[in-house]
Amino acid sequence: MGLTPATIILALAVIYHWWRTAISTVYAIEKDSVAWLILGVVISFIGQCGDNIYWGIAWTLHAIDSPDAEMWFNNGVYNNIPFRQTLGIIAAFCHLKAANLSLKTLICFSAVLGFILMLFIFNH
């Protein structure tokens, strides 16, 4: 728990430092590999910051035996969707674009596995 503030503060520092470059990259017609990489880094740290804030609150409430801790843990799965999964996917996309890799196969394979997983969960 003691590392959470440092994680959040340092993530915010990365976001602050690279924000202007990342925003200019979004609007650039042509993006080179460095631009894609910087954009991916900023997106990744935004996700990490949000995730650490949420779970930092949840674990702090748990540590102090707050009755609100259960609500934070029960709803954590919904927090993971935007911060861990969605921003993680977008950041990975940017990093792979920076490496000039073809994403079609990876996206299709990921989508099929996700669909199979959901079928298993809903039919179980």
Which amino acid is it at 55? W
Cα 23 vs. chain centroid, distance in angstroms?
17
Q: Following CA atoms 51, 53, 55, 59 in sequence, which dihedral angle do they give, to the nearest 10 degrees? A: 170
pLDDT digits (tens, 9 = 90+) for 109-119: 999 999 999 99
Domains: count for the chain: 1
What is the Cα–Cα distance from 77 to 81, expressed in whole angstroms?
7
How many distinct helices (H) and strands (E) make up the chain? 6, 0
In this prediction, residue 37 has a pLDDT band, given cuts at 50, 70 and 90, of very high
pTM of this prediction? 0.86
Q: Tell me the residue range of the domain where 37 lies.
A: 4-122
